A and B are shown apart, each in its own frame.
Chain A
Amino acid sequence: MSSRVGVILFPGSNCEQDAIEAVRMLGGEAELLWHGDETVAGVDAVIVPGGFAHGDYLRPGAIARFSPVMAAVQRFADEGGPVVGICNGFQVLTEAGLLPGALQKNRGLKFLCATTTLRVETTSSVLTSGLAVGDHLRIPINHFEGNYTCDPETLSVLKADDRVVFRYVDNPNGSIDDIAGICSSGRNVVGLMPHPERAISPLLGSDDGVGVLQSLLRAATAA
């Protein structure tokens, strides 16, 4: 049975087609979910894609978290459904309180568009179940506010509970503790700044995102 992945489209999203294409290439079904609908339409997994939802006005994710679909995403996550926020989607999930901490402006005040190397830090998440701890993945980043931060207590909890999912090998943006991605306490909500959906073919420079998204599809099938 192939799994259905819903990709949320906000006004200003711009990576939703990349995510849909990646899911389909890997044998899953993918469909768009409109931010103004109060449902996730019975999908098996949700991707909150990259872009500039609602123009990033006020702050990235600040308006998007109040989009009607987000209440449905919250319920879906509470029931254990896999939810992945990529880049702007990560920012939306932190603003919505589905993940702790916040994304501040990159150290150095530069918009970063580059291929980074990530280290897989845990296999206990919906994005990394098919990988091995210590795996190095070449995945692109494309962001201005990707510098993850949180208070010291939150960082202690994230580390103690094995909730840091990815770290940068060479920290590009100043993120605290080199964090590139984290997961929720239930391990079914993951946010990351890098774009695995853009690393699914050697033609794109890397296919290291395949194992990441295959993990998501497996979680979706199990959900």
Chain B
Amino acid sequence: MVLRRRVFGGSGAVCQHETMLFTVQVEVTLRPGIADPQGATIERSLPHLGFDGVSHVQVGKSIRFTLDAADEAAARAEVEDMSRRFLTNPVIEDAAISVAPAGT
């Protein structure tokens, strides 16, 4: 997908292009049924520190970036594509995607 990109001038001024900047967060977690030994280890450790009642600990990763796109739907479509093809391995991982206009 080719998008017209925002072009920054030397003064920091933004040239007039019809795109917006979005902040994106992709939270990658292991799919249900996939072993999460890091989560299990944390869960076993917490009671030793006096934190009782903790369960369902999951360890994942958070990938954050900004993205220039025509609109929010286009931004989301692009992030979903990159998540499926690169940011996650769909065999073992799920992605929770959030997209919001930058600066809000």
What is the interface of chain A, defined by CB distance below 8 A to chain B? 58-59, 62, 66, 94-95, 101-102, 104-109, 147, 149-151, 174
B15 within 8 A of A: no
Cα A143 to Cα B35 with chains together (Å): 16
Task: Tell me how many residues of B have a C-beta within 8 Å of chain A.
Answer: 12
> Could you tell me the distance in whole angstroms from the C-beta of B31 to the nearest C-beta in chain A?
9
Partner of A149, one of B34, B37, B40: B34
Residue of B38, B41, B91 most packed against chain A (CB within 10 A) = B91
Partner of A62, one of B38, B40, B41, B86: B86
Partner of B34, one of A95, A104, A109: A104
Closest to B39 in A: A109
Residue of A59, A94, A108 most packed against chain B (CB within 10 A) = A59
Partner of B91, one of A66, A109, A147, A151: A151
B89 within 8 A of A: yes
What is the interface of chain B, defined by CB distance below 8 A to chain A? 30, 34-35, 37-38, 40-41, 86-87, 89, 91-92
Q: Which residues of B contact A62 (CB under 8 A)?
A: 86, 89
Question: Does A174 lie within 8 Å of B91, measured CB to CB?
Answer: no
**Given A104-B34, A106-B37; A149-B91 close (CB under 8 Å):** yes
Closest to B37 in A: A109
Q: Which residues of A contact B87 (CB under 8 A)?
A: 58
Question: Does B89 lie within 8 Å of A105, measured CB to CB?
Answer: no
Partner of A150, one of B40, B86, B91: B91
> Could you tell me the distance in whole angstroms from the C-beta of A103 to the nearest C-beta in chain B?
9
Closest 9 CB pairs of A and B: A109-B37, A102-B91, A102-B92, A104-B92, A102-B89, A105-B37, A109-B41, A107-B35, A104-B34
The 25 sampled A-B contact pairs (Cβ below 8 Å) are A58-B86, A58-B87, A62-B86, A62-B89, A66-B86, A94-B91, A101-B91, A102-B89, A102-B92, A104-B30, A104-B34, A104-B92, A105-B35, A105-B38, A106-B37, A107-B35, A109-B37, A109-B38, A109-B40, A109-B41, A147-B35, A149-B34, A149-B35, A149-B91, A149-B92
Partner of B35, one of A58, A66, A150, A174: A174
